[in-house]
Amino acid sequence: MEETIIHADLFARKLKGLAAELYVNDIPVARVGGNLQPWTSIPVPEYLIDGENTLSVILGIGDAPSTEKADLEGKQCDPGIEICARIVKMRDGEMAQPGSGEPLLELQWTAEKAEDLPQTLSTSGDVGSKFGAWKWQSADILTLDPATSESAAEFIRGIAEAYTNAKPDSILERTKFKHQETIVAYPIYAGEDFDEMFREQLQMGAEHPNWKPYELPRDQYDLRLVADGRMIQAVAKDWRPIVRMENGDFGYHMYIGKIDGEWQILR
């Protein structure tokens, strides 16, 4: 049986300096425009759910993740902007490019006139995924009140300290759901030991000359709720991961959530 993998892609034309962000089930997965390329494609099996999935694009995002829907309020985009977002099934080895893959869900939009920003575009449909329920779907529903924000920041700081000092054990204690579910999302990796792979990758990174431990200042954190409030993206105001090295060569992307009241790395 031919191996396949599901991607989400986003192609935008005539953005004229604007940027857009792609979401799968209220989880941000990629951006285009601004200083980035106008097209992107990324594997997304771990963000898909059984039954109806939602594919969304926010056009006209702001300068920082937490303000992406507010920075451009009161401004408009020019007519002619085109947005095409898709969830597609790719064959193993097939090159990801605009138009490739078998479309499972598609969103197309053209600005026929000047439109208010930001524009939130969305479509929903069943893409045939049969993974069962992910742990993040039943995670505690969160709000970003001061107490939750500081609790999340403290957890992230602990992960950052362990990561930058190449100490995987305390991280692996909080990634069990993520690693277990990665094998379900990507059957090609069946039989792999993701804990051991993580240990090896961390050790290899720590031996690199550019591995320079770095603690991002708290005022540069830009935590935002995703997945309908069930996860928090550990992202900084510059859109890069909070957990990273000083020069940015290495970083650890995280979506965290609470399972039975305990912080876990869920994606």
Give the pLDDT of residue 18: 93
Residues 38 and 83 in one domain: yes
Residues 120 and 160 in one domain: no
Residues 122 and 139 in one domain: no
Work out the widest C-alpha separation in the chain, in whole angstroms. 55
Residues 116 and 151 in one domain: no
Is 238 or 63 the better-scoring residue by pLDDT?
238
The residue out of 64, 95, 126 marking a domain boundary is: 126
Distance CA 59, CA 12 (A): 10
The pLDDT tens digits of the residues spanning 221-243 come to 999 999 999 999 999 999 999 99
Which pLDDT band holds residue 71 (cuts at 50, 70, 90)?
Answer: low
The pLDDT tens digits of the residues spanning 180-209 come to 999 999 988 888 899 999 999 999 999 999
Question: Which residues form the domain of 110?
Answer: 4-126
Residues 169 and 234 in one domain: yes
Mean pLDDT, residues 131-146 taken together: 97
Tell me: pLDDT of 2 over 80: no
Chain Cα centroid distance, residue 211 = 24
Mean of all residue pLDDT scores within the chain? 94
Place of tokens 């991280």: 171
Residues 93 and 143 in one domain: no
Tell me: pLDDT of 19 over 60: yes
Residues 65 and 148 in one domain: no
Which pLDDT band holds residue 96 (cuts at 50, 70, 90)?
Answer: confident
Domains in the chain: how many in total?
Answer: 2
Residues 141 and 116 in one domain: no
Contact predicate 181/134, CB 8 Å: yes
The pLDDT tens digits of the residues spanning 149-183 come to 999 999 999 999 999 999 999 999 999 999 999 99
Residues 83 and 142 in one domain: no
**Candidate ranges 142-146, 187-191, 212-216; pick with highest mean pLDDT:** 142-146
Residues 248 and 189 in one domain: yes
The residue out of 77, 109, 126 marking a domain boundary is: 126
